[in-house]
Chains A and B, each alone.
Chain A
């Protein structure tokens, strides 16, 4: 039984013997004097759905373009399936890219756009037609086959770009912000479709996005980037639950950051001096902190409980006043102002109708959380 369980868990990055499909080795890319990618080392494994996440201008597209062959590392090397690809031109790489701008051929109709790559492979006519039809069906574009790119909507264009890059069944598919132009509903549908396609075809996907929710949804691993460097590479749940820095915690989802100074209490427990006249906070941490070291306690709003009375035996409890309420339908976020002016966010599920919710503006409330709810970060 144990055997079966371990084989269904897809974690090649934990396996020291696994050969990565893509290997960035100390890659630096400079444009003139500007460093776009800074000494970056990264392994991506076959069949992964790997997400690059980061603010605009952090070098995501540049990494994709180096994989596709349009840019070359200034230093370091990139290997694809164990082979240095520095001298392989774009048209000889088993890599296809979906461009951020889609780059559909305006003079060709949708059908011919999708067939473009297949024609270069000199596929027999019938196979080619079957493949194009398959792609049209997959992306639900059958009705638009004879239209030109300028005659369809932004979302449809995006799907054409996806179909075109998938058509050649590449070993590696690069998606540069593939779903940016879609509205939320269609985006979620397409995300699941992408995961479905990825599972069916076994293609390795590298997806660029600046939407953290999207990265969390689709990816097997997420790399958070900033200014050409990798800040953290981990599975979505680890990135969310165990961020290694304030930057990552802040970038992924909503978070409260409380700055303070640690003093050790037990083996893994620390008390945090964080504001004049406030009781110290308690938190556990696997990484050790020196006494008096500056630390940041990161707590997700959904892990903060809001009550009107002082909670009994809570590890941490602070009193404040409801400053603002953001109603999100299924959730409400309460912005609670503490006496010293700090704002802490607490999120609760709206199981009751809005007219009957328990707190409103200016209500005095208590916020509480457990010692294990937050993550203690050094920087």
Chain B
């Protein structure tokens, strides 16, 4: 009995905070816009009983999903989000791997401090940090001033409101999600394996490539998914740092909801985004499971 209750808690949580809201969003995505409060029809009126429910169901349709395929804004936004997420994940890996490696090779007594430094940014508001980047990247910002002062450039670089700024923002924000799983994998790596590789004729670089990289692969995969999945639907960074040319589905979603007040189309966009995300989430789970099995 106690066990049943314990098991029921996470399921109840999932039901209340994921499945029910998803059901509501799904229902809205099948509705039509209306100038009303809430801004869609039909709404379920339980007073009319069974016949009321039947008429309610008959008014739902897939119009909005069809619409998503007709206006090429949407698939372009999905595609562009995918591309940006992919490239950003790659850059995060490029920056994060050496940091994780450095942490794992650092003397034992330094590691908690280094770990702390990686997590530290989480202690301030995400929005404030993104605004700070606006200050750094703008034409009169710190970065341009320093580069001008150093004489590296003669004209200020246009970074803010371009995709470059979006990439910088994403790499900066999501770096800890990349570093932590890679660090965990590298930390577990037995140093004598590297020595064995060198003993058998590898140079340092070969040993890194043939032993360290393959053995940290689960961490690389986990980190990449942990970055890729949320970045795909990212809204704040592209809307604050990106420009009019930055097309991301999160931004489209926001505009549908708040600018167009077209809740049904916005919901349809959200539902499709979720379906797309199911694939990498399943792959991520598979990776985690395989790793857990390998460790047994």
Enumerate chain A interface residues (CB-CB to B < 8 A): 68-70, 89-91, 95-97, 99, 101, 103-107, 116-117, 120-121, 150, 164-165, 168
**In whole angstroms, how far apart are the Cα atoms of A117 and B210 in the complex?**
12
**In whole angstroms, how far apart are the Cα atoms of A121 and B192 in the complex?**
21
Which of A69, A91, A165 contacts B203 (CB under 8 A)? A91
Count of B residues near A, CB < 8 Å? 19
If the complex has contacts A91-B203, A107-B215, are A99 and B198 also in contact, measured as CB distance less than 8 A? no
**In whole angstroms, how far apart are the Cα atoms of A104 and B192 in the complex?**
9
Which of B195, B211, B217 contacts A90 (CB under 8 A)? B195
Question: Please, which residues of chain A bring their CB within 8 A of the CB of B10?
Answer: none
Which 10 pairs, one residue from A and one from B, show the smallest C-beta to C-beta distance? A120-B201, A117-B200, A103-B196, A103-B192, A90-B198, A107-B214, A91-B198, A91-B201, A97-B199, A103-B193
Question: Secondary structure of the B side of the interface?
Answer: helix
13 A-B residue pairs with Cβ-Cβ distance under 8 Å, sorted by A, are A68-B199, A69-B198, A70-B195, A91-B200, A91-B203, A96-B200, A97-B196, A99-B196, A103-B192, A105-B193, A107-B214, A120-B202, A164-B200
Question: Please, which residues of chain A bring their CB within 8 A of the CB of B203?
Answer: 91
If the complex has contacts A101-B192, A105-B211, A107-B214, are A116 and B199 also in contact, measured as CB distance less than 8 A? no
A77: min CB distance to chain B, Å: 21
Question: Please, which residues of chain B bring their CB within 8 A of the CB of A120?
Answer: 200-202, 206
Flag if B202 contacts A91 (CB, 8 Å).
yes
Question: Please, which residues of chain A bring their CB within 8 A of the CB of B48?
Answer: none
Most chain B CB atoms below 10 A, which of A96, A116, A121, A165: A116
Flag if A150 contacts B294 (CB, 8 Å).
yes
Most chain B CB atoms below 10 A, which of A95, A117, A164, A168: A117
* Closest A residue by C-beta to B207: A91
Flag if B211 contacts A121 (CB, 8 Å).
no
Question: Please, which residues of chain B bring their CB within 8 A of the CB of A69?
Answer: 198-199
Question: Please, which residues of chain A bring their CB within 8 A of the CB of B195?
Answer: 68, 70, 90, 99, 103
A108: min CB distance to chain B, Å: 8
If the complex has contacts A101-B190, A101-B192, A120-B206, are A106 and B198 also in contact, measured as CB distance less than 8 A? no
- Which parts of B188-229 form the interface with A (CB within 8 Å)? 190, 192-193, 195-203, 206, 210-211, 214-215, 217
B212: min CB distance to chain A, Å: 11
Which of A89, A101, A107, A165 contacts B198 (CB under 8 A)? A89
A73: min CB distance to chain B, Å: 18
- Which parts of B279-296 form the interface with A (CB within 8 Å)? 294
* Closest A residue by C-beta to B203: A91
Flag if B200 contacts A116 (CB, 8 Å).
yes
**In whole angstroms, how far apart are the Cα atoms of A105 and B210 in the complex?**
10
If the complex has contacts A103-B192, A105-B193, are A96 and B215 also in contact, measured as CB distance less than 8 A? no
Enumerate chain B interface residues (CB-CB to A < 8 A): 190, 192-193, 195-203, 206, 210-211, 214-215, 217, 294
Question: Please, which residues of chain A bring their CB within 8 A of the CB of B211?
Answer: 105
**In whole angstroms, how far apart are the Cα atoms of A121 and B200 in the complex?**
9
Flag if A96 contacts B199 (CB, 8 Å).
yes
Flag if A99 contacts B201 (CB, 8 Å).
no
Which of A89, A106, A117, A165 contacts B215 (CB under 8 A)? A106
A128: min CB distance to chain B, Å: 13
**In whole angstroms, how far apart are the Cα atoms of A105 and B206 in the complex?**
14
Flag if A91 contacts B199 (CB, 8 Å).
yes
If the complex has contacts A105-B211, A107-B215, A116-B197, are A99 and B202 also in contact, measured as CB distance less than 8 A? no
Which of A95, A99, A117 contacts B192 (CB under 8 A)? A99
Question: Please, which residues of chain B bring their CB within 8 A of the CB of A107?
Answer: 214-215, 217
**In whole angstroms, how far apart are the Cα atoms of A143 and B195 in the complex?**
28
**In whole angstroms, how far apart are the Cα atoms of A150 and B198 in the complex?**
22
A98: min CB distance to chain B, Å: 9
* Closest B residue by C-beta to A70: B195
Most chain A CB atoms below 10 A, which of B192, B199, B217: B199
**In whole angstroms, how far apart are the Cα atoms of A89 and B197 in the complex?**
12
Question: Please, which residues of chain B bring their CB within 8 A of the CB of A104?
Answer: 196
Which of A68, A70, A97, A121 contacts B201 (CB under 8 A)? A121
**In whole angstroms, how far apart are the Cα atoms of A351 and B294 in the complex?**
53
Question: Please, which residues of chain A bring their CB within 8 A of the CB of B193?
Answer: 103, 105-106
A255: min CB distance to chain B, Å: 36
Flag if A90 contacts B206 (CB, 8 Å).
no
A60: min CB distance to chain B, Å: 16
Question: Please, which residues of chain B bring their CB within 8 A of the CB of A121?
Answer: 201
* Closest A residue by C-beta to B200: A117
Question: Please, which residues of chain A bring their CB within 8 A of the CB of B198?
Answer: 69, 89-91
**In whole angstroms, how far apart are the Cα atoms of A101 and B196 in the complex?**
10
17 more A-B residue pairs beyond the given contacts A95-B199, A96-B200, A106-B215, with a C-beta to C-beta distance below 8 A: A69-B198, A90-B199, A91-B199, A91-B200, A96-B199, A99-B196, A105-B196, A105-B211, A106-B294, A116-B200, A117-B200, A120-B201, A120-B202, A121-B201, A164-B200, A165-B199, A168-B200
Question: Please, which residues of chain B bring their CB within 8 A of the CB of A105?
Answer: 193, 196-197, 211
